[in-house]
Structure 1
Amino acid sequence: MSFAMLFTMLLCFTLTVSVAVSIGLASIVGIQVADAHMLISVKEMFNSINKFPLAAIPFFILAGNLMETGGISRRLVEFAKSIVGGVQGGLPMTCVLTCMIFAAVSGSSVATTFAVGAILIPALIKHGYPKPWATALQATSAELGVIIPPSIPMILFGVSAEVSIGELFVAGVGPGLLIGGALMLFVWLYSKYKGWGKNDGDGRLSFGKATWQAGWALLMPVIVLGGIYGGVFTPTEAAAVAVFYSLIVGTVVYREIGIKDLYNILRKSVISSAVIMFIIANAGLFAFLLTRAGAPEAIGTWLQQVLQSPFYFLLGINAALFIIGMFIETGAAILVLAPILVPVAVHFGIDPVHLGMVMVVNLALGMVTPPFGVNLFAACTVARISLDRVIKDLIPFIGVILACLMLISYVPEISLTLRDIVFTK
């Protein structure tokens, strides 16, 4: 049954069938091969999405769209530019820093791509940066949207692997800061090497003025993350708070969201949420059938026999996830693979939270790698450029992320130190 399901799924991928439909069709084939009742599909698909933490996903998506339309993202750009925009290469550094701040609320890399990219890609091009390079920068920087908490993939990992979402959120701070800092250092050095960005400081607001204008926007991540880490509300409740705060700031304070805008914001959010939930439902059914067939135990035993140390386990997992991330949507990959890999990681003495960081960072990299990198497609859409023109400029950015990934994999303290401090009993 497992072979028939995997073959069907890979065949559908080859025929460019969407990920959710491919997984769903593979599950139907598995049910037929096992001669099981089709009502299993309805029951397991419902069970997959009938989980309270998943309610955070549509809320975070809605909050990101409200931030984009309500002027919050534009003010965050000006604030970031006031900090790093005064040096040569300051504008691409502003792109990275803005994505880091925006990620602290949105939880979505695609939302970050559209909200920040719509402002900064044209600005980068205007200041003389090549359009393909600016597009590659934006796509890569937006990856921080799923690494810096709150993060939708972390929620999915926590639900599927039965790991504390709060611990995952705290653990994501270290890797997020590492990758953000590495990207800022790289773009600064690369801009100086190329001679780009000598006039990046033009039009930059003073730090005080930019902070004053962005005050309400900057307060948002403080409220959301402070509330989570302070135990005031759960990550799911924090998502609802983010929506309420974004709505109030966008309509009452900044007054950039009108009644007519709400329809388009809600429509876009509903469509995005429905797509993710459809993927989760199908992936849940797929994972249930694989578990019923004994695949996780078989794969786990095989991994323990072949990868006989934590070092080789992490190396093998990183190599496999890098390839998988190129072809399979991040959420679906986490939902299918997390229940399989977590028990093996525990066998090797690897903290499940650490494994979660490795999986999220690695699969987030798949969002910017062809052929199915959603961030890459989103950035190309914003920049109005074909995908093939961006690939060459994308390679150095991928190299930076891979270097950070190796550090995150083999230096678990990057992820776990803050977690241990916050959750010390």
Structure 2
Amino acid sequence: MVLVISVTVSFFWLWFIKRFETSTRLTGKPSVIFSLFLCGIGSVFAALFLAELEELLLSHVAFLSPLTYYVFYVGLCEEFGKFLVFYLAASLTDMTKEPKDGLLQAAAVALGFAILENILYSDWGLGILLLRSVMATTGHMSFAVIWGYAAGLYLYSKRAGKNKYSFGMVIGAVCTAAVFHGLYDYFLGMDLKPISFLLDAIVLSISVYILRSLKGRSPYESGDKEAVAEAIESNSNNFHLNRLAGVQALKTRDFETAAKYFKKASTVNHREISTKVCLLFTELLTGSVEEFEAYRTLDRICSSINVSNLNRLRARIAEVFAGCPDEERLLNLIDDLIDETGYRELLKERIAQFDKYANAIAGKGCADSGFLISDKNSLPMAYRHPSFYTKENNE
């Protein structure tokens, strides 16, 4: 039962941190959170190896105080064990799309570490396991957030080729997490549980604050122009970022730059219709296409869309081009297409009704259809094809 609680707590936190994983959700790529959780289980063995190594190095030391033991032996080995697995995965893959990712991925590794460690402690009794299932699991995650934050900044900057942060900063963050971890275990070992719980709560609060702060500066969510530009440097083929940069350029009336980003986004995801329309209208604003040609292209792009979806598209385009010069002219093109499409849909429906009636009473005449014929096939095929029924052909 307690083991079930341990697993439940870990998966609750996995669900919580995955909600903040914006970059993979928007790009449609699979999440790495669960994979890193599994890697975190393996990080226990990395920590055990480091503990053996440290014990060998300190074999000549006769005595270690409890505080020194918990900080420099327990805390340091466990935090570096988790960090090594995280950093190896981050170095071998391209999983850090924004600074926030490092924090989330470090937390996932820590949760994997915690769940296996809790299983290893199951022989210590039900009370210990229950306590660890809640407090130690949360603590492992919170401590990892400290170095995950630093590692995310470092890896993201390095990926963009800027090197704004040093690797020493990351190592310092791991050591800081080790100190907090050691203090937590020390107070727990000295039977000062209230202080230990308070420390756990403080570090958790700091972790949540950092996470929310990074979420507010996320290039995928905040729309901050500098953050988006920096993100594109390291992830130039990201559809969402290029589209967002195009929208930002529109708001500053930089139509040529907007067209460049919309074109890139359309190349990455050629099925996304609203971005193609944004590109077309931006090119119309720059004068690179004429209005008549723009309408023909718009008709071709939206040929598979019904009136209902065209109205949704119009709402999105109106939001993107709000305040732009000739906004009304651009929306009128969509309005004309909506009218045209609605007219075609109506005529297709009428033609279908006509075919139904003609099949039913062929050879008897069909007054209901508006025609008086002895054979439905006597109506020329050109007049029965939906493409014939446009406003121009019927006015």
TM-score, structure 1 normalization: 0.28
TM-score normalized by structure 2?
0.30
Larger Rg: 2
Larger RCO, structure (CA 8 Å, separation 6 or more): 1
